[in-house]
Amino acid sequence: MTQGSTNTATAASTLPSLAMTLTIQALASAALIAPTAVAPVITGEMALPAAAVGLYIAVAYLGAMVASVLGSHLVLHRGAIRTSQYALGLCALGLGLIATGWTPAAALGAFALGLGYGPITPASSQILARTTPAHRVGLVFSLKQTGVPLGGVIAGLAVPPLTLATGWPIALLCIALAAAACALMSQTLRASLDVDLSDTAHRPGLAALIQPVRIVWKEPRLRTLAMCSLAFSAVQVCLTAFLVSYLTVQLRWPLVAAGVALSVSQVAGVVGRVLWGWVADHGPGARSMLVMLCTAMIASGLAMPLLDPASPQALVLATVMIYGGTAIGWNGVYLAAVARLAPPGQAGVATGGTLAFTYLGVVVGPPLFGVIASGSSNYAMAFAATAVPLLACLAALLRVGRTPQAAGPH
């Protein structure tokens, strides 16, 4: 077979793999976001405070932190498709437990959802690395990552109307059934993709697990980026988790309209994840692009208290679109900056090390946001408060830009 025909065959095999991994990512994300899309209804019926949404996210991402560390090892021994099937099954189980409406079961369900969400990225990376031609890796991986906000679009458009029609437990179970159906559909690719599995069980030691974090912490510029990702990820998840509550409680929007606004923010994030990366590559560079995105996030958060029930719907949606496009769309640019600053040959290890900080922001940020929102009875002020850590990030990024060593990611 010629080199050209090999490339063609590989490119052809990329399409079903990309379609499947994108669908898996989107449904896992939809499962995680679904309870937040109708959070005011769920917390009201379960007699829970607003801060419960933040605790839900924290518990879920604690599960994701555990599963993301162990997920790559499960991929080696069980296969990427089988791991994805396990993950989607856990997502379906988690939604089922939350649908019971019993608080202890819901807490366990949140953790199960996180356990299901965590292995999705290492599993999909294994699949796409095997099936994607080298010259298309960047585009294909970027497209797959849009599955995260696409899941938010699914949750925002589907869950509120289903809740009004059938009740929130049935709405969550519909998403659970979709995740389970996707697990079954993925079986068609298992024979071709789950190959070359390891026969030996290997449990990584503590030193191996913390080595990526050590690499990041010892390099000042990587450490700065990692700490910025902590704040960025907190803002991203707080926007996704609390936007519907902010719109329905504070701006008095109907639940379905608030769900549509959530979808608008997620679509903007989908576009942003691809667009900002392209702009950074063809213009200012990753570090300068992060400065711009951080500035826009600060402005968007500070704009939230300026909106009220009388604000034009178009103005609210425009604010939400800018907020979502930046707070959800920063990931690709950030990963490019990390790869440029990583020691030679250690971009993957450095990325894994920064992920620990990214997840920490998701675990810590939403509960703090919930406490501020509950204490002040004002979601808008909680959004505005996110400007404080973001201002610190902005100062750190500008300081990195002034150092001679920082020329790499520009």
**Residues 38/160, Cβ–Cβ less than 8 Å:** yes
Q: Which long-range contacts (CB under 8 A, 24 or more apart) does 251-254 make?
A: 251/307, 251/308, 251/309, 251/311, 251/316, 252/309
**Residues 261/323, Cβ–Cβ less than 8 Å:** no
* 313 vs 191: CA distance, rounded Å: 50
99-135 confidence digits (pLDDT tens):
999 999 999 999 999 999 988 877 877 777 777 776 6
**Residues 366/53, Cβ–Cβ less than 8 Å:** yes
Banded model confidence at residue 357, pLDDT cuts 50, 70, 90: confident
12-190 and 208-410, same CATH topology: yes
pLDDT computed for residue 209 by the predictor: 60
H helix runs in 252-386, sequence order: 255-282, 286-303, 313-327, 331-341, 347-376, 379-385
**Bigger pLDDT: 350 vs 41:** 41
**Residues 168/45, Cβ–Cβ less than 8 Å:** yes
| Mean pLDDT, rounded, of the chain | 84
Q: Which CATH architecture has domain 208-410?
A: Up-down Bundle (1.20)
**Residues 109/98, Cβ–Cβ less than 8 Å:** yes
**Residues 198/76, Cβ–Cβ less than 8 Å:** yes
Token pair of 71 as six digits: 């997920």
Domains in the chain: boundaries = 12-190, 208-410
Grouping H, G, I as helix, E, B as strand and the rest as coil, residue 233 is helix
Query: DSSP readout, 370-389?
Result: HHHHHHHT-HHHHHHHTHHH
pTM score of the predicted model: 0.76
In this structure, what DSSP letter does residue 133 have? Answer: -
Banded model confidence at residue 2, pLDDT cuts 50, 70, 90: very low
Banded model confidence at residue 93, pLDDT cuts 50, 70, 90: very high
28-38 confidence digits (pLDDT tens):
999 999 999 99
Banded model confidence at residue 409, pLDDT cuts 50, 70, 90: very low
- Neighbouring CB atoms inside 10 A of 136's CB total 16
pLDDT computed for residue 155 by the predictor: 94
Work out the average pLDDT over 59-75. Answer: 79
Q: Which among 188-192, 278-282, 378-382, 404-408 has the top mean pLDDT?
A: 378-382
186-216 confidence digits (pLDDT tens):
998 887 777 766 665 455 566 656 766 777 8
308: left (phi over 0), alpha (psi -120 to 50) or beta: beta
213-271 confidence digits (pLDDT tens):
777 888 888 889 999 999 999 999 999 999 999 999 999 999 999 999 999 999 999 89
**Bigger pLDDT: 31 vs 376:** 31
pLDDT computed for residue 7 by the predictor: 44
CA angle, corner 283, sides to 282 and 289, nearest 5? 115
* 23 vs 147: CA distance, rounded Å: 7
Residue 13 has phi, psi (to 5 degrees) of -70, -20
pLDDT computed for residue 318 by the predictor: 97
pLDDT computed for residue 198 by the predictor: 60
How far CA 328 is from CA of 279, 354, 357, in Å, comes to 16, 17, 17
pLDDT computed for residue 16 by the predictor: 82
What dihedral angle (degrees, nearest 10) is formed by the CA atoms of 281, 287, 288, 292? Answer: 100
128-169 confidence digits (pLDDT tens):
777 777 666 656 766 777 888 899 899 999 999 999 999 999
Q: Which among 66-70, 275-279, 338-342 has the top mean pLDDT?
A: 275-279
**Residues 151/32, Cβ–Cβ less than 8 Å:** yes
311-324 confidence digits (pLDDT tens):
999 999 999 999 99
Q: Domain 12-190's class?
A: mainly alpha
Banded model confidence at residue 49, pLDDT cuts 50, 70, 90: confident
Q: Who's near 389: CB < 8 A, 6+ residues apart?
A: 231, 234
Q: With b meaning 16 or more CB within 10 Å and e meaning fewer, what string describes 140-167?
A: bbbbbbbbbbbbbbbbbbbbbebbbeeb
Banded model confidence at residue 406, pLDDT cuts 50, 70, 90: very low
Q: With b meaning 16 or more CB within 10 Å and e meaning fewer, what string describes 85-103?
A: bbbbbbbbbbbbbbbeeee
3: pLDDT strictly greater than 70: no
Residue count of the chain: 410
Q: Who's near 139: CB < 8 A, 6+ residues apart?
A: none
